[in-house]
Amino acid sequence: MEARYKQLARRMILTGLAVALIPLYVVGAAIYLYLASAQQQSLRAELLALVVNRASAVDLFLTERTAMLEALAHTASLGDVDEASELAALLRTLNKRQHSFVDIGVLNADGNHVAYVGPYELRDRNYLGEPWFEETLSRGVDVSDVFLGFRGVPHFVVAVRRDDSPRPWILRATIDSELFTTLVRSGQVGLTGDAYIVNRAGAYQTPPRFGGAILSTAPFDPSIAPPGSNVVERQLPDGRRILSAFAWLEGKDWLLVIDRESSETLAPLQLAWKMALVGLAVCTVLIAGAIVFHVRQMVGRLEAEDRKRVAAEAQLAHSARLVSLGRMAAGVAHEINNPLAAIGQLAGLMEDLIGEDFVRSSPHGELFRTNVRKIQEHVDRTRDITHRMLGFARRMEPHQDTLNPNDVVEEALSFIEREAAFREVQITRQLDPALPMIRSDRAQLQQVILNLVNNALDAVANRGRIVVSTRAYGEVIEVQIDDDGVGIPKELRDRIFDPFFTTKEPGKGSGLGLSICHTIMQQLNGSITFDSEPGRGTTFFVRLPRVPI
């Protein structure tokens, strides 16, 4: 395809693709964004409900445990509870329904652990100065933050003060960390979800599933969580974005956090999106394929039409030029013929009149006679020229001649015989002597055959062979021209009748020869076809209808 048609095709393809695909992509993206945002919103709502629910469960748990201890403290007296057996009975009572307390102990106002029941040796330890102790002493009840304690194991305690006489005492119990952690983790969702508690300073109060041990510092500042509950999107140190639902507990300065990785919840949507993308890709390929195919075909057709039109115009211009050239030649020939005829007859008359006496009577008599004859010979020569010009002019105009195709072949061959002989190309004639006379345009037919034998001569090497044969069969007269030349490559076969198609060097051939032959044969109601084997040679067939005379 020629460059400007390629450009046209490219432009049409791009426009087609843009018109077809851009809306498709825009709609696809819009749907995705809408779905993603809807998903995100419902996820936030879900997380918020979850965190509120879990926070109240934790609150309830702590409140209940505190209340249980308070009830115990107020029904017992110091004299009762400093006995280990009494205390053990109390612990059993507390844990009757649920094993929520690990140990229990009684402290006097000086911070001495006066009684203890539990798996550790904590009796007689002094807790003076411990924050929870001070807090309980002053406020009457406290749920401690998680701390390491004397055992070096993270835990937290619930403590209540009994204002007994003469001095107040404190009942403290360690909450079962495992139970509490389980309670908190009941807010955990999915494979990447997390649920944990941090204190105001940001230290983990229950172990998070990911990203740290208990008591280590969480990677965010709890103050980003506003009072009450809400959902915040934040970025983890490793760059993942997660949704965090925050809820401050009511009874304790703790923040319940439920994390959810956005990508996990969006996974089904993303799967759908991937499938949609595959669908889009398939659509794109189909649409693009259809557009490219049709545009190519259309532009190809357009180019062929254009080429045909240009060729027709060129041929028209060519023949118009030849016709006017022919008319001019005819005009010149006519004008010359009349004076030439007069010159010829005048000289002829002079020759008639120059008798032997005249020749002898003058020293130049013989010269006169010779010259008068020569004048007539030159008139003959000039006549040959003007008659050729007239013949040329006649050839340019379409007309019907009665002709023997063999004669036309002979005439055409006479034009190239000199060059053929010079190159030692052997031209063999196999002309059917019984060929009938037909009506056709002699000049046009001669041009076709001359073109073909000329091409054959170009195709064969020196000492090559050309065979021209004629035959009649049915209603067809066939002229066949074989050569043993280079042949026509397969890929060029569709194009050799195209106008301006040439394999000759630029400037050597117009590329119109075979195209004109083709057109002429169509005008003569005949046909022109060929067979070729690269390297072996080419055969052209010219077929004419056997038009009766």
Find where tokens 């004109």 sit.
516
Q: How far is the CB of 366 from another protein (least distance, A)?
A: 21
Nearer to another protein, 39 or 382 (CB): 382
Nearer to another protein, 224 or 385 (CB): 385
SS3 532: strand
Nearer to another protein, 191 or 353 (CB): 353
For residue 11, give Cα distances in angstroms to 18, 449, 500.
10, 44, 27
If one counts every other C-beta atom within 10 angstroms of the C-beta of residue 463, the result is 9
Q: What is the DSSP letter of 475?
A: T
- Residue 157 contacts residue 172 (beta carbons within 8 Å): yes
Q: How far is the CB of 411 from another protein (least distance, A)?
A: 18
- Residue 456 contacts residue 384 (beta carbons within 8 Å): no
Q: What is the DSSP letter of 155?
A: B
- CA-CA distance, 245 to 232, in Å (whole number)? 6
> How many residues comprise the chain?
549
* Residue type (1 letter), 342: A
For residue 372, give Cα distances in angstroms to 71, 348, 363.
164, 7, 16
Q: How far is the CB of 313 from another protein (least distance, A)?
A: 27
String of b and e for 505-543 (b: at least 16 CB within 10 Å)?
eeeebebbbbbbbbbbbeebebebebebeeeebbbbbbb
Nearer to another protein, 21 or 346 (CB): 346
Instruction: Taking the CA atoms of 393, 397, 399 and 404 in sequence, report the sign of the dihedral they define.
Output: positive
Nearer to another protein, 221 or 377 (CB): 377
Q: How far is the CB of 548 from another protein (least distance, A)?
A: 19
Single out the residue of 86, 83, 81, 66 nearest to residue 140, CA to CA. 66
Q: How far is the CB of 451 from another protein (least distance, A)?
A: 24
Q: What is the DSSP letter of 461?
A: P
Nearer to another protein, 351 or 407 (CB): 351
Nearer to another protein, 245 or 347 (CB): 347
- CA-CA distance, 197 to 214, in Å (whole number)? 10
Q: How far is the CB of 341 from another protein (least distance, A)?
A: 4
Q: How far is the CB of 438 from another protein (least distance, A)?
A: 19
- Residue 183 contacts residue 53 (beta carbons within 8 Å): no
Instruction: Tell me phi and psi for residue 185, to 5 degrees.
Output: -70, -10
- CA-CA distance, 308 to 298, in Å (whole number)? 15
Nearer to another protein, 44 or 383 (CB): 383
Nearer to another protein, 10 or 334 (CB): 334
Nearer to another protein, 139 or 399 (CB): 399
- CA-CA distance, 543 to 549, in Å (whole number)? 17
Q: How far is CA 127 from the centre of its chain?
A: 75
Q: How far is the CB of 329 from another protein (least distance, A)?
A: 11
Find where tokens 């007994």 sit.
164
Q: How far is the CB of 412 from another protein (least distance, A)?
A: 21
Nearer to another protein, 108 or 382 (CB): 382
Nearer to another protein, 74 or 399 (CB): 399
Q: How far is the CB of 362 from another protein (least distance, A)?
A: 21
Q: How far is the CB of 477 from another protein (least distance, A)?
A: 24
- CA-CA distance, 545 to 452, in Å (whole number)? 19
Residues that bind another protein (CB under 8 A): 330, 333-346, 348-349, 352-353, 376, 379-380, 382-383, 387, 390, 394, 397, 399
Q: How far is the CB of 294 from another protein (least distance, A)?
A: 52
Q: How far is the CB of 524 from another protein (least distance, A)?
A: 18
User: How many distinct helices (H) and strands (E) make up the chain?
Assistant: 12, 16
Nearer to another protein, 346 or 359 (CB): 346
- Residue 372 contacts residue 351 (beta carbons within 8 Å): yes
- Residue 164 contacts residue 141 (beta carbons within 8 Å): no
Single out the residue of 44, 62, 6 nearest to residue 184, CA to CA. 62
